[in-house]
Structure 1
Amino acid sequence: MAQYETVRRAGVGVEASQIDAGLRAHMNKVYGLMGVAMFITGIVAYFVGTDFARAVNGEATLIFPVAMLQAMFSSPIKYVIMFAPLAVVFGFGAMINKMSLGTAQLVFWGFAALMGLSISWIFAVYTGFSIAQIFFVTAIAFASLSLWGYTTKKDISGWGSFLFMGLVGIIVAMILNIFLQSPAIMFAINAIGVLIFAGLTAYDTQNIKNTYLAHAHHGDNEWLGKSAIMGALGLYLNFLNMFMMLLALFGNRE
């Protein structure tokens, strides 16, 4: 926030009103990209998940063959589907500077579809009302945390190292628990994870804002466009992980 006021007062060759307008446009683009990605994820998850639920119940599927669904969810392929989004995130982060803006956006949409496939099983496990209810709660929490991160005058950049270490710990614990299958460990992962992703939502929002202010005067629209995509990716992951962990904690199963 201090950086924002400093840049705004100094102007860096641009009127303060132009800085405000540019920042608003940038944030709107970030949230817009995130919203489209969430829509893609939801559509893919719903259609794959409902067909999987129908197959589990012995009913005729509407879109996907039963054999395909069985392979996706009952064979080792399920681990590929589970970890593929994580691999894409790391690869995307490493390669985005070598991509064109259009390619980066297409990769982001493809990642959102892949994530929808990865979480589609929830429609076969949890009730539709429970999914909608937890999604609504997550949306309210996310909006509140992101708004706070955007408007607070407190510099929360120091949270980054702590939150990153917590995130790495959660990923390691989740991988280990695939073999341990401990309900207690999974409960702890979800409870702590909600807090970590809540913190990351505020932290990432402020970081997106400060990154824009640090580079806006360069006038590099290609770079700012990619920055918006990466910002949207970070917020998208925060929202989705909060949603999945809250669903695991409070969702009603079929």
Structure 2
Amino acid sequence: MNDFNSTVARGRTMDASIDAGLRTFMLGVYQKLTLGIALSGLLAFAAGTWEPLTQLIFGTPLYYVVAFAPIALIFGSMFFMKNPSPTGSAILYWAIVTFVGLGLGVYFYMAKSGMSYSTAGGISQALNYMTIAKAFFITASAFGALSLWGYTTKRDLSAIGSFAIMAIWALFAVSVIYMFLPMLGIMEPSSGMEWMISGGFALLSAVLVAWQTQELKEGYYSLAHDGRSLAVMTNWGALNFFIMFVNMFRFVLMMLASRD
């Protein structure tokens, strides 16, 4: 999905902060992100509290579709959306939002039932609705501050962003390996490793929030007269932001719910 971002030529404008067109474009990205977060939240609440949907999502093989569909869609987009259209990128965005939202329903199910659980690494967790609300507001506040900094800073974040992208892919590979090694009996689950992986995703996502904001800001000036490309970039920007927000939210929730 970053193929589209990488095609954007870099070109700073001194009066970017007062450019009405840029503000309109960025507001479009944030509005789509807000709608995506709202939809995923509603779906998560429904999946976790409405018994028929809870049984359908978490009590049937459909759970595996919900769990792995976002990753499959992201990887698929890298191969099949080299020249994305506004409609195609929008469908991809809302599909990922839907599947992620349904998957997050497990948190509301736990809060509703009052049950505690242990993660694969052995981290004891207990959730309630207040914990979920606190995690959301903490994440939203941090996200807003990081995006504002990325929008206003004069520092070039391209090097930091490139490093963070490479690091997050490396961390993803480590997490996949870690997921299968205990299943094969090669190593024991480790809470320390789980904290490190989750924290790494959250930290790198936080860095990418600022970088992505700057990329969108600079990309606007290169594509300001290309409505089709701006529409695609709006969808990619909202999708990247959404994934980063969810990564940060999960880690904050993990910290707040931890009983260790």
TM range (shorter): 0.7 to 0.9
Question: Could you tell me whether the CA contact under 8 Å between 2:48 and 2:109 is conserved in 1?
Answer: yes
Distance in 1 (alpha carbons) for counterparts of 2:92 and 2:173: 26
- Does 1:248 find its partner at 2:249? no
- Does 1:5 find its partner at 2:21? no
Question: Could you tell me whether the CA contact under 8 Å between 1:42 and 1:116 is conserved in 2?
Answer: yes
Identify the residue that residue 135 of structure 1 maps to in structure 2. Answer: 136
Q: Which of the numbers 48, 53, 60 marks the counterpart of 1:64?
A: 53
* Aligned-residue CA RMSD (Å): 2.4
- Does 1:206 find its partner at 2:224? no
Pair 44,65 (structure 1): closer, same or farther in 2 beyond 3 Å: closer
Bigger Rg, which one: 1
Q: Deviations over 1:72-91 (max 9, x none)?
A: 5xxxx544422210111232
Paired residue type of 1:240: V
Q: Unmatched 5+ residue regions in structure 1?
A: 9-15, 52-60
1:102 Cα offset (Å) = 3.1
Number of residue pairs matched by the alignment:
227
Identify the residue that residue 48 of structure 1 maps to in structure 2. Answer: 47
Distance in 2 (alpha carbons) for counterparts of 1:252 and 1:129: 14
1:176 Cα offset (Å) = 2.3
Paired residue type of 2:255: L
Identify the residue that residue 19 of structure 2 maps to in structure 1. Answer: 20
Distance in 2 (alpha carbons) for counterparts of 1:143 and 1:93: 28
Distance in 2 (alpha carbons) for counterparts of 1:106 and 1:34: 14
Query: TM-score, normalising length from structure 1?
Result: 0.81
1:21 Cα offset (Å) = 1.0
Identify the residue that residue 190 of structure 1 maps to in structure 2. Answer: 198
Query: Could you tell which deviates more after superposition, 98-107 or 191-200?
Result: 98-107
Pair 227,67 (structure 1): closer, same or farther in 2 beyond 3 Å: closer
Distance in 2 (alpha carbons) for counterparts of 1:90 and 1:130: 32
1:149 Cα offset (Å) = 0.2
Show the 5 A alignment for 1:94-243.
94-96=79-81, 98-125=83-110, 126-179=127-180, 180=182, 181-216=189-224, 219-243=225-249
Q: Unmatched 5+ residue regions in structure 2?
A: 1-9, 111-126, 183-188
Question: Could you tell me whether the CA contact under 8 Å between 2:48 and 2:54 is conserved in 1?
Answer: no
What is the percent sequence identity of the aligned residues?
33
Question: Could you tell me whether the CA contact under 8 Å between 1:134 and 1:251 is conserved in 2?
Answer: no
> Which SS does the other structure have where 2:167 is aligned?
helix
> Which SS does the other structure have where 1:64 is aligned?
helix
